[in-house]
Amino acid sequence: MSTAPFTPPRTAADITVWAPTAASVTLLIGGDVGQDEIEVGLVPLSTSPGWWGAAPGSAAASATNSAPARYRFRIDGRDPVPDPRAVRLPDGVHGAAELHRLDEFGWTDHDWAGLDLRGAVLYELHIGTFTPAGTFDSAIEQLPHLVALGVDAVEVMPVNAFNGTHGWGYDGVAWYAVHEPYGGPDGFARFVDACHALGLAVVLDVVYNHLGPSGNYLPEFGPYLTSGTNSWGSSLNLSEPDSDAVRAYIVGNALRWLRDFHVDGLRLDAVHALIDHRALHLLEELAIATDALAAELGRPLTLIAESDLNDPRLIMPREVGGYGLGAQWDDDIHHAIHATVSGERQGYYADFGGLDGLAKVLTGGFFHDGTYSSFRRRRHGRPIPTEIVDADALVAYTCNHDQVGNRAVGDRPSAYLDGGQLAIKAALVLLSPFTPMLFMGEEWAADTPFAFFTSHPEPELGEAVRTGRRSEFAEHGWDAVDVPDPQDPATYERSKLDWSEPTDAGHARMLQFYRDVIALRKSTDDLIRGDFGSVRCTFDADAGWFAMLRGSWAVICLLRADEVPVPIGLDPVLWWDEVTPMAGGILSGGPNVVIGRLTDVDQVR
């Protein structure tokens, strides 16, 4: 398998396009304000079947050499549309593409050696709501906060171009372009460069399982999509006729972020929605290409999958039949911790909440590993072969954009849990053997929500989203009037972080706890180990306490308000509320978490 690297055209003469079913392709060059477009008929390229370009040495080719910077295509005489590989769309996803190259001399990260993301502390953020301005440049100003927190890598929600001014980014339609309101491609390059200057790696969230409902012109050019659908729309053509070019379109896009934008890893959205019947799955093809690029660049590159399949093949080595991805998100860990601490049991939390289930995910990774899922009404998942897969191949979190934003009102755990409960969740995630990830603002128990918000310019599309969102939650007992209108700009504005909060006494206490726990993780060999064999669990469900043991350390969680003795000898180092030492154990009320060195390791073997 080989995929030629994508190279953005320097002049209009370099522009080519894949349109295998077209009878004619016309390049419209110009299109700047006050200028007329020049029409240039393209010809099929004999060296690349299905591709069109200007005939070498023709008058058309020479005409494009002096053309203005913007261009569009007309396929078979239809209305002009932008380039599927447009690298900049200054007027939005319906406008003309612009010739653009990143300034190679603008980078200052020449000494950046990269970072192995497994075991690193990740921090997920949304550019539009991370700061009041919602731009790459304003996000750069807050990066020192992440460094002081102890974060190793920033995971950025999708930044590829979508229609409208603001949204989560998963409705992208121009995968090679960067959303202009955030700052466009140059702004993203500045952001990555600034992260590297502060020692922060960058992970970019990318969506290859569907395209958004507005501005998707790919079907104009060729069979990019299939008749099959997933939860969000038409599926990408990954294994049907003419799918080679579609796969190359995806792989080329992934490598562009990693190579041209110096990104350190990609989070692959909802890979369970990729319909691929080939022997070489797209995910494995992506992993092979990424590993090859890492070897070429001399720095680590990591692919992180989001999947609800509980299928360990994603992260198993290719030598034993796996896809060889670096890591995957693990919702089972979130569900087990959240249900245990919060007491919520609705929807997919129904099977979670027991302390035995919490112990199972902390020591084995998956709760559903072939067990019956009442939410799915079938058996689900398969066990992780812990002898060949390390625990740090799983990404764990107390919350993320989905687990907050897909609640009816977008309420964070800080809206309904107290400080002790939040501290329990943080300690279990940050001191587990997994790769921990925070969601922006959780470190100070932010009061601001993170709701689902959109800005579809088409009234009918906006109304469909609004109605669908409210109907969905009405089925689960919510009053429609309580569900925020995704199209209301106020829903977006309320979702922005309030950077005055971290200095407030209550928020500052939580922030300091997060800093201390992260620092303890990084300075303690037992707590930074990423293998399954490094964690043990013990608990007393009747008394309401749970302990995660890491070598000579213990994370003891008091889940109830009652003061109870915990028969584990401990020298406390960190805690949410102080505890009373007692012979062979501690005495504490809850909710509380206590972290310390075991006085007798053999006591809890």
Residue 59: is its pLDDT beyond 70?
A: no
Q: Please give the structure tokens belonging to residue 305.
A: 């999958």
> How big is the chain by its Cα radius of gyration, in Å?
26
Nearest CA-CA partner of 85 in 161, 23, 31:
161
Please tell me the distance from the alpha carbon of residue 289 to that of residue 252, in angstroms, as a whole number.
9
Residue partners of 34: CB distance under 8 A and separation at least 6? none
Residue pLDDT, tens place only, 109-147 = 999 999 999 999 999 999 999 999 999 999 999 999 999
Residue 244: is its pLDDT beyond 80?
A: yes
Tell me the average pLDDT across 388-397: 98
306 part of the active site: yes
Residue 482: is its pLDDT beyond 80?
A: yes
Residue pLDDT, tens place only, 72-107 = 999 999 999 999 999 999 999 999 999 999 998 999
Residue type for position 222: G
Residue pLDDT, tens place only, 564-593 = 999 999 999 999 999 999 999 999 999 999
pLDDT, position 2: 47
Question: What rounded mean pLDDT belongs to the chain?
Answer: 94
- Of all residues in the chain, what percent carry a pLDDT higher than 90? 88
CA-angle at 552, arms to 551 and 558, nearest 5°: 95
269 part of the active site: yes
Residue pLDDT, tens place only, 332-391 = 999 999 999 999 999 899 999 999 999 999 999 999 999 999 999 999 999 999 999 999
How sure is the predictor about 66, in pLDDT bands with cuts at 50, 70 and 90? low
Residue 407: is its pLDDT beyond 80?
A: yes
Please tell me the distance from the alpha carbon of residue 280 to that of residue 273, in angstroms, as a whole number.
16
Residue pLDDT, tens place only, 13-30 = 899 999 999 999 999 998
How sure is the predictor about 67, in pLDDT bands with cuts at 50, 70 and 90? low
Spot the catalytic one: 83, 171, 205, 269: 269
Please tell me the distance from the alpha carbon of residue 359 to that of residue 545, in angstroms, as a whole number.
12
Which of the two residues, 470 and 556, has the higher pLDDT score? 556
Binding residues for substrate: 267-272, 331-335, 401-406
pLDDT, position 289: 98
Q: Are 236 and 218 in contact (CB under 8 A)?
A: no
Spot the catalytic one: 37, 220, 306, 442: 306
Residue 1: is its pLDDT beyond 70?
A: no
Q: Please give the structure tokens belonging to residue 142.
A: 């807050």
How sure is the predictor about 481, in pLDDT bands with cuts at 50, 70 and 90? confident
Please tell me the distance from the alpha carbon of residue 26 to that of residue 323, in angstroms, as a whole number.
41
Binding residues: 267-272, 331-335, 401-406
Tell me the average pLDDT across 157-178: 97
Q: Are 158 and 146 in contact (CB under 8 A)?
A: no
- Three-state DSSP at 52 gives strand
pLDDT, position 234: 84
